[in-house]
């Protein structure tokens, strides 16, 4: 199970076991895993690690159960902690990262909103969307803003949440809209595009990588009737690189395409940004490789707009649409 885990990720689990024994817990929970991650990777939640404030909060909310358990005794992972490890590995795969890092395990915790570790993170103002954006750009350390000295009770949680999202938005530019909770499908397409970029030895995410991810999705195939095989043959890998690329920033072309996609969704009156809108965004970035490939396969912007309108509201297919 742990073959893909980095040494830091494995040590975090060891420290989680230590935290559980210190708390007198008969099993290792996500709250102990969170403390283990922060012990091993102090900068995971910012330059000023909130390890002790979070530990105190866990103790105050029923975390301590009894006397310290000797380290010679085996402690099992509880179901939520096992699930966090599996979800963390899934997050690494979705992001196109070959190894499971501490940041991925952090996401495995926040993906379970009701678990102890996720609850503790929310209490201190750390929210899932901002954490995911930070980990996607730097899985080893989330590189978030400095943790405030005051506890959440003394500091407005909304202020910290805004700082986190601003941090994510500053890095991703126009891609920041993908990290909104209602845009999960579009975000997953972007994460798949990162994986495509890595397979093709690219140091950044380009429009062609997003296109490859999109044409394999059910929504896009249903909406436009596109054949994935017809697109992959147009896109060739770059020469292999010796250096390891950790950050996968979007190109300026892709940022503009994402901004166009958001405009198209708004123009259609859709509250969420879906994979089908991303196709419209790629078509509008006319000089991009993805746009050229889409047009070469017979899909124009006007056709795509009508298809999206009908896909979201089938009545428009028979009534006609004044969208274009």
pLDDT in tens, 135-193: 876 667 655 544 444 444 444 344 444 444 444 444 344 555 666 667 888 888 887 88
pLDDT-flagged residues of the chain (< 50): 145-173, 241-246, 318-324
Distance between first and last Cα of the chain: 52
Radius of gyration of the chain (CA): 22
Helix intervals (H) in 95-127: 102-110, 116-123
- Can you give the pLDDT at residue 181? 66
- Can you give the pLDDT at residue 43? 81
- Can you give the pLDDT at residue 68? 82
DSSP string, 54-88: HHHHHIIIII--SSPPPTTS--PBPHHHHHHHHHH
Name the percent of the chain in helix, strand, coil, to the closest 5. 60, 0, 35
Q: Are 137 and 39 in contact (CB under 8 A)?
A: no
CATH top-level class of 7-171: mainly alpha
| CATH no. of 181-319 | 1.10.1780.10
pTM over 0.85? The answer is: no
- Can you give the pLDDT at residue 103? 92
- Can you give the pLDDT at residue 74? 82
CATH 1.10.1780.10 residue window(s) in the chain = 7-171, 181-319
């Amino acid at each position: 199970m742990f073959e893909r885990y980095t040494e830091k990720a494995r040590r975090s689990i060891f420290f989680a076991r230590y935290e559980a024994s210190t708390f007198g817990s008969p099993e290792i929970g996500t709250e102990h895993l969170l403390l283990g991650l922060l012990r091993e990777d102090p900068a995971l939640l910012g330059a000023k690690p909130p390890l002790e404030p979070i530990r105190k909060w866990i103790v105050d909310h029923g975390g301590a159960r009894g006397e310290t358990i000797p380290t010679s005794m085996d402690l099992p992972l509880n179901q939520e902690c096992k699930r966090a490890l599996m979800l963390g590995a899934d997050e690494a795969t979705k992001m196109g990262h070959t190894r499971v890092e501490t940041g991925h395990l952090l996401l495995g915790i926040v993906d379970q909103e009701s678990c102890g570790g996720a609850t503790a993170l929310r209490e201190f103002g750390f929210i899932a969307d901002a954490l995911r954006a930070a980990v996607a750009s730097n899985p080893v350390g989330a590189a978030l803003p400095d943790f405030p000295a005051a506890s959440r009770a003394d500091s407005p949680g909304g202020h910290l949440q805004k700082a986190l999202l601003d941090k994510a938005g500053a890095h991703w530019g126009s891609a920041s809209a993908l990290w909104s909770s209602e845009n999960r499908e579009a975000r997953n397409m972007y994460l798949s595009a990162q994986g495509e970029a890595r397979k093709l030895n690219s140091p950044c995410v380009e429009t062609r990588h997003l296109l490859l991810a999109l044409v394999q999705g059910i929504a896009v195939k249903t909406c436009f009737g596109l054949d994935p095989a017809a697109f992959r043959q147009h896109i060739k890998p770059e020469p292999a690189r010796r250096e390891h690329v950790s950050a996968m920033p979007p190109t300026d072309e892709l940022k503009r395409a994402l901004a166009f996609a958001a405009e198209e969704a708004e123009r259609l009156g859709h509250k969420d940004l879906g994979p089908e809108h991303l196709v419209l965004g790629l078509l509008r970035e006319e000089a991009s490789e993805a746009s050229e490939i889409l047009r070469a396969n017979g899909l124009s912007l006007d056709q795509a707009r009508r298809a999206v309108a009908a896909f979201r509201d089938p009545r428009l297919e028979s009534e006609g649409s004044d969208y274009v």
